[in-house]
A and B are shown apart, each in its own frame.
Chain A
Amino acid sequence: MEKLVISDIPEMFDHVGQVFAERKDELCAMDAVMGDGDLGLTMSKGYGVLPGFMRDLESEGDIGRMMFKAAMKMQNTVPSTMGTLMSSGIAEAGKAFKGKTELVPADMVTYVIQFAAGIKKRGKCELGDRTILDSINAGAVKAVDYLSANPEASFSDVMAAATRGAEEGCEATRDMLPKYGKAVVHAAKAKGIVDQGALAGKYMLEGIESYFACQDQTAGL
């Protein structure tokens, strides 16, 4: 697979939705300890409706506009903190893709970078605050490094690098204290535990990675 066209994007997010459907109970159980207990529901619902919103907007003919508008609709469907952060990430990537009718592997690196920027901008959080930013940013750094060392990298390669980075970012949250949102109240319970928001960020990247892995498999790569 050398490029993505607009009609491929909803299917890519279908894979993200599938990952969150499988991880729903796990995320809810983690969030019950550190937050409201609804993270798995929010993510599976939000990413469950996103591909449909995108398909409705395919006639825009512009990947960026489609992603931005669909992200806004997703935010309206799941307006909780993590729903808003996820949609802010997608919307920010959408802004960077404005006018694009196809994406190449380097654009997926841009996607992860912009996703992190969107979260930081809207959530006003910093690295080390024990949030989703800690996994997504680590994923972005790894993907950038991988691409600069391997300019001919495939979609699967860059997303695998992003997921590996996010995994490391998740592990790093075990030693971080929450400084943001309701988790602050439960700070004493955070030690040694992966942040559930950071993990949701990793699952989002895993979903995209699984889409490209499926495409490679279909193509017999």
Chain B
Amino acid sequence: MENTSPEYAPAVEVPTSREEMDGLLDDLSLERDKTVRNSIHNRQAAVEALQNAGANGDAEHIADILPKVDEQLATKEAFRNNMEVAETQEKGLFRRAYETIKAHPYLTAAAIIAIVTAGVAGSIYLAGGVGAIAAAVEKAAAYVGLEHLYGAGEVAGGAAKAAESLGEAVRTIPGGIPDYVSGPGMENFL
């Protein structure tokens, strides 16, 4: 059954696509700077508009991250365009990559972490802000040796529950929990 409690039913959600971002800005009568990417005018107006739209305590957080979301939507579009070109040269890239991940429990666990974290992120950030999301990811990642990816910190509130459930699940990974890993980009997380 769908959870319809207030904390799981946000009136304003973080946009997941360019269309949603444009729709949100239109709904809130906000403008995106046409010449300077990622600049959304008048933060206070954005906060007030978001409050009026029902974002309540999350209005400031959403207003603050909208420019960053806008930037990442542009990155996502670039990635999809790049992949369309790559797929013309080699078909089935996503599917082949995913079948390989599925064939390896450790890699599957990493994918599950991503999906579960994204799945609960909306409700977690309402309860505890973006820091709680990061903490949930970190806690969950620790169970499969990926915590260096997400940094160190404490887990709090609803994030802990989500991460503990995930932790119970990944503890049963065949072959046990692997050693910590490192790789390019990791210096940002250490």
Whether chain B is bound by chain A comes out as no
